A and B are shown apart, each in its own frame.
Chain A
Amino acid sequence: MTTISDFLVPDHKRCDDLFAAAEAAAAEGDWDGATSGFALFRAALLHHFAMEEEVMFPAFETRTGMRQGPTAMMRNEHRQMTGMLGQMDKAVTGKDANAFLGDADTLLILMQQHNVKEEQML
C-alpha cells in the first residue's frame, strides 16, 4: 500500500509543478517557454498515466478482483485528460492564450480531483 502512494503523491506534485510553469509562461506571453514547458508537462503526465495503467491498476485489479470498478473510472478520466492535452497542444502551437489558459484551468480541476480519488483509493 505505502509503495503505491509513495510513487503517486510525489509524481502528482511533479506534474503540478510542470503544469504551473507552463501555464505561467503562457500567461506572460512567453510562447517559447510555454511550448517547452507544456511539452515537459505533457510527457510527465502521459508517463504518469502509463505507469498507473500498466503497473498499478493491474496490480489493484488482481488483488481486489474489481475490473469494472475504480480502475475503469480512472482509465476513463485518463482518456478525458489526454483529450485536453491534445487541445492544449493545438492552443500552444497556435499561440492562443485564451484557449490555452481556459483548457489549463479545466485540466487542472480534472487532474486534481482525479488525484484525490486516486490517492484515497489506492
Chain B
Amino acid sequence: MTPQNSLSLDQAPPIGVPLRFFVTAPLFAVTAALLALWQGADLFGSRWSPAMLGITHLLTLGYLGLIMLGAILQMLPVVAGTPVRRPVPVAGAIHVLATGGIALLCYGLIFTAPLALKIALPLLGTALLSFAALVFLTLRRALPQNMTARAMRLAVLMLAATVLLGLVLLSNHAFGWWLQAREALAELHLTWGLLGWVGLLIAGVAFQVVPMFQLTPAYPVRLTRRLVPALFILLLALAAASRFPEFQLALKILLAAGFAVFALTTLQLQAKRRRKLSDVSLDLWRGGLIGLLSAVALWLAAQLVPAIGELQGYGMLLGVLMIVGFAMSIINGMLYKIVPFLVWFHLQGRRGANGTTVPNVREILPESRSRPQMRLHFAALAVLLAAVLVPAVFAYPAALLFAVSNFWLWLNIVAAGRTYRRVAARSGEAAAG
C-alpha cells in the first residue's frame, strides 16, 4: 500500500465491517417471507398476532436495522471526520449480539417461547444501546453545520428510546408481569421506531445523498436546518400528550405534514435532476417516497373518514406502506449505491503499484441484475397490499414474490462480495509475484 492511498483507506473501516451486516439482512427478510408462506392467509388477521409481531421484527430489526447499523458504521468516520477506534471488533460484537438477539426475539414471539425472549433481551439491549451511544458520542466531533450528522444524532436518540420501550414490552412478554399501559407503549414504540429512527435517518441521509448521487439541486437550507429537529420535537411531544387526544391529533397532523413536505420536496428535486440517466437506485428512492406519501394520504383519509380507519386491514396497510413501501425500497436503493462503490473503493486501495485492473461499479453490480430485483420488490409490495385486503387470494403469491425478491437481493450482494474477494486475491498474487 502506498502512503497516499492509505490515507483515505485509514478513514474508512475494512469492507467486512459494513458487508457482514448487508449480507445477513436480506436473509431475515427471506425468513419473514417463508414464515408468511407457512402462515398463509391467517397471518393477515391481526397485526398484533404472535406471527405478525415476529415477522414485523424480522423486517424492522433484521432487515432495516442491520443495514442501517452497517451503513452508519461505514459512514461514521466520513461524517464525523475522525475514524472509529477498533472498528472490526466493535462491528463484530454488535453484529453477533444483534443477529443472535433478533433471531431469538422473533423465535420467541412467533412460538411464544419465554426463554428465547429472556435471552434476546440482554443481547438486543446491549447491541443496540451501545451502538446508539457509540454513534451519538462519535458525532460530537462532527462540524456544527453538518446537517446529516445532526439528523443522525437525533435518529439514534430515537433508536435508543425505541429500544428502551421495546425492552419494557419484551420483558412484559418474557416474564408476564402486568403492564397497564402496554398498548400505549407499543403504539409509541412503533411510532418512534418507524418515524423517529427510520424516518429521521432517511431524511438526514437524503439531504446529503440525493443531491450527490442524482445531481439534483440542493435541498432548501431552511428545510435541512429545521425539518429533522422539528419532527424530533413533535415525536417527543407525542409521548407527553398521551392523555390529551386532541392535542395528540394536532401533533400527528404536523408530523404527517412534515414527512409529506420531505417526500414532495425530494421528488421535486429528483424531477429537476441534471443527470438524466436511468438509475435503479433512483427508481427505488422514488418508489419509497411514493410509499411514504401513500401512507400519509391513507392516514389523513382515515382521520377525515373514520370508516376508513375502522377497516379490517387499515393498520396493516399503513405498516406495509411504511415498512416495505417506504423504508425497504429506499434501503434497497441505497445498498445498490453503497455496495458496488465499497467493493470498488477497497479494491482500488489494495491495488497498489502492480496495476491489476479494478472492475467499475457497473461491472461489480450490473443493472441487468439489480433492475429485475427492483421490479420484483415493487411487485411484491403491490401484491402484499392486495393480500392485506383479500388474504385468501393474495397471501401466498405475496409471500412468494417477497421471498424471491429478497433472495435475489441477497444473491446480488453476495456476488459483489465475491467479486471483491476474487479481484483482491488476484492483486495479492500479482503483488507477491
Complex Cα spacing A91 to B143, Å: 39
Given known contacts A16-B215, A76-B5, A113-B212, is B277 in contact with A106 (CB within 8 Å)? no
Partner of A106, one of B4, B5, B344: B344
Q: Are A17 and B274 in contact (CB under 8 A)?
A: yes
B276 is an interface residue with CB less than 8 A from chain A: yes
In the complex, chain A residues 1-57 whose Cβ is within 8 Å of any chain B Cβ:
16-17, 19-20, 23-24, 27
B275 touching A20 by the CB < 8 A rule?
Answer: yes
Cα-based distance from A108 to B277 in the complex (angstroms): 13
A103 CA to B38 CA, complexed, in Å: 45
**Binary A-proximity of B205-221 (CB < 8 A = 1, otherwise 0):** 00010001101000000
With A16-B274, A99-B360 known to touch, is A106 a contact of B341 (CB < 8 Å)? yes
Contact of B8 among A20, A73, A99, A106 (CB under 8 A): A73
Task: Tell me, yes or no, whether B362 is within 8 Å of chain A by CB.
Answer: yes
Interface residues of B in 354-378 (CB under 8 A from A): 359-363
- Which residues on the A side are within 8 Å of B348 (C-beta)? 80
- The yes or no answer to A102 lying at the interface (CB within 8 A) is yes
The A/B interface has a contact count, at CB < 8 Å, of 64
Hey, which chain A residues are within 8 Å of B360, CB to CB?
A: 99, 102-103, 105-106
Interface size class of B (residues with CB under 8 A): 20 to 34
Residues of A within 8 A of B341 (CB): 106, 109
* Chain B contact residues: helix, strand, loop or mixed: helix
For the complex formed, measure the closest distance between the CB of A68 and the CB atoms of chain B, giving whole angstroms.
9
B5: chain A residues at CB < 8 Å are 76, 80
Is B4 a contact of A120 with CB atoms below 8 Å? no
Does A98 make an interface contact (CB < 8 A)? yes
Interface residues of A in 58-87 (CB under 8 A from B): 72-73, 75-77, 79-80
Residue in B8, B11, B359, B362 whose CB lies within 8 Å of A101: B362
B89 smallest CB distance to A (angstroms): 26
A109: B residues at CB distance < 8 A:
212-213, 337, 341, 361
Q: Does A93 contact B (CB under 8 A)?
A: no
Q: Is the pair A76, B7 in contact by a Cβ cutoff of 8 Å?
A: yes
Return the contact of B274 from the options A20, A77, A113 (Cβ within 8 A): A20
Which chain A residue has the least Cβ–Cβ distance from B4? A76
Interface positions of B from 69 to 90, Cβ below 8 Å from A: 78
* Nearest-neighbor residue (CB-CB) of B364 within chain A: A102
Interface: B145 (CB within 8 A): yes
How far is B146's CA from A86's CA once the two chains are assembled, in angstroms?
33
Knowing A72-B7, A79-B4, the reply to whether A116 touches B362 (Cβ < 8 A) is no
Closest to A68 in B: B7
Q: Which residues of chain A are within 8 angstroms of B363 by Cβ–Cβ distance?
A: 98, 102
**Cβ-neighbour of B361 out of A24, A106, A120 (below 8 A):** A106
Contact B275 A23 (CB under 8 A): yes
Residues A102 and B213 in contact, CB atoms below 8 Å apart: no
| Chain A: CB-nearest residue to B11 | A73
13 residue pairs A–B, Cβ–Cβ below 8 Å: A16-B215, A20-B215, A24-B277, A72-B4, A72-B7, A73-B7, A73-B8, A98-B362, A102-B360, A105-B362, A109-B213, A109-B341, A120-B145
List residues of A whose CB falls within 8 A of some B CB: 16-17, 19-20, 23-24, 27, 72-73, 75-77, 79-80, 98-99, 101-103, 105-106, 108-109, 112-113, 116-117, 120
Assuming A75-B4, A105-B360, A109-B341, what are 10 further A-B pairs, CB within 8 angstroms? Answer: A73-B11, A98-B363, A99-B360, A102-B361, A106-B341, A106-B360, A113-B212, A116-B208, A116-B212, A120-B143
